[in-house]
Amino acid sequence: MSGLAPTAAELSRAYAGRRVLVTGHTGFKGSWLTLWLDSLGAEVTGYALAPAGSPSLYVAAGVDAACTSVLADVRDAANLAAVVREARPELVFHLAAQPLVRASYQAPVETLETNVLGTAHLLEAVRAAGAPCGVVVVTSDKCYENREWAWGYREDEPMGGFDPYSMSKGATELVVSSWRRSFFPPARLASHGVALASARAGNVVGGGDWAEDRIVPDAIRALAAGRPIPVRNPRGVRPWQHVLEPLGGYLLLGARLAPGAPARAAHCEAFNFGPRHEDARTVREVVETLVAAWGGGAWEDRSDPAAPHEAGVLRLSVEKAWARLGWAPRWSFEEGLRRTVEWYRAHAAGAGAPALAELCRAQIRAYLER
């Protein structure tokens, strides 16, 4: 399977001069997406909380220079609606979320309010604005009822979730499905103008992620400090991919939903964006590949039988994205981690915001040219 889409030319045609709203633009994926949209010539408005913790990619790469930034909460429905009215987006990428499984055990209600009600607030703001636009709601591979299968989950598998985070993502998908059927039916797209889809991706890696309880940031912190990498679940299997892989899928899907695009209604569905089957690897393989790319280091098993539940095996099927969008993963597991280490090495060497932003853009160009 070789990638055909998106191409640089298709994305430039779709986004140059477009008004785009990105919720969650201060987060890891949101920062990368904002830089990519800015590179395409889009007029980006971002809506999100201030970056969580320091350092952050948003600050380190000066992402605020690539957008009009509104620092606010998606749980504030009135404020979000006002920003949507002011920004008049032609495309919306909804990434704002509480993104961590383990944090959801500590703050389950906040996780639900942000992920589920925040999505409903966004969709209601779009409905109230009454203008044609395309909307991509980003959820997670963890939206599926995980049965620890060896094969990949397809888009028509049941929603579920053991932990509050996973359940919130399954519930978010139900919100999207309900609003699409109730208020934005594809069969009446000509009358309401809103093309609504959702995107489900697996575990992402890439430069600039410093979140707690994620294996790559944990590993980089340990390697930089000369400590062994603590590994909670070395045998866990996840659909690892560089952050540019799903972002390319989101942008491609958005291009197909944009006002004026042909066959918009045909893409108002859910799509998985994950790696090739062989690139769903164990956490152990991730840390060993990171150590090799870093040039040295070690890891240690910190498995704890009493720790909060996390999925053991999780894979995604991406046949639908391939068949319907022409999308397929481009970078191998090893290349994605090599590009990730390249970014963190530059940051550790003292690269400033312009250099780090340019490194992000250079990796985007390399991805598209692949």
Q: Are strands 237-239 and 280-282 parallel, antiparallel or unpaired?
A: antiparallel
What angle in degrees, to the nearest 10, is found between the helix axes of 215-225 and 333-348?
A: 50
Burial class (CB in 10 A: 0-12, 13-18, 19+), 304: exposed
Query: For 82-88, what is the mean pLDDT?
Result: 98
The pLDDT-based confidence of 118 (bands split at 50, 70, 90) is very high
Whether 290 is in a domain gets the answer no
Does a structural domain hold residue 231?
no
CA angle (134 as vertex; 128, 138 as ends), nearest 5: 100
Is residue 195 classed as helix, strand or coil in its secondary structure?
Answer: strand
CATH number of the structural domain spanning residue 186: 3.40.50.720
Beta-bridged to residue 92, according to DSSP, are: 21, 135
Alpha-carbon torsion, ordered 13, 17, 18, 23, to 10 deg: 110
User: Which of the pair, 14 or 213, is modelled with greater confidence?
Assistant: 14
Q: How many domains does the chain have?
A: 1
Question: Is a pLDDT exceeding 70 seen at residue 1?
Answer: no
In a domain, 219, yes or no: no
| Residues contacting 78, CB < 8 A, separation 6+ | none
Q: Is residue 161 part of a domain?
A: yes
pLDDT digits (tens, 9 = 90+) for 265-288: 999 999 999 998 888 789 999 999
95 falls within a domain: yes
Model confidence at 2, pLDDT cuts 50, 70, 90, reads very low
Domain membership of residue 25 (yes or no) is: yes
Which has the minimum average pLDDT: 79-88, 195-204, 304-313? 304-313
Domain with 195, as residue range(s), is 8-203+243-278+312-332+352-369
Q: Looking at residue 25, what is its pLDDT?
A: 98
| Separation between Cα atoms, residue 202 and residue 141, nearest integer Å | 5
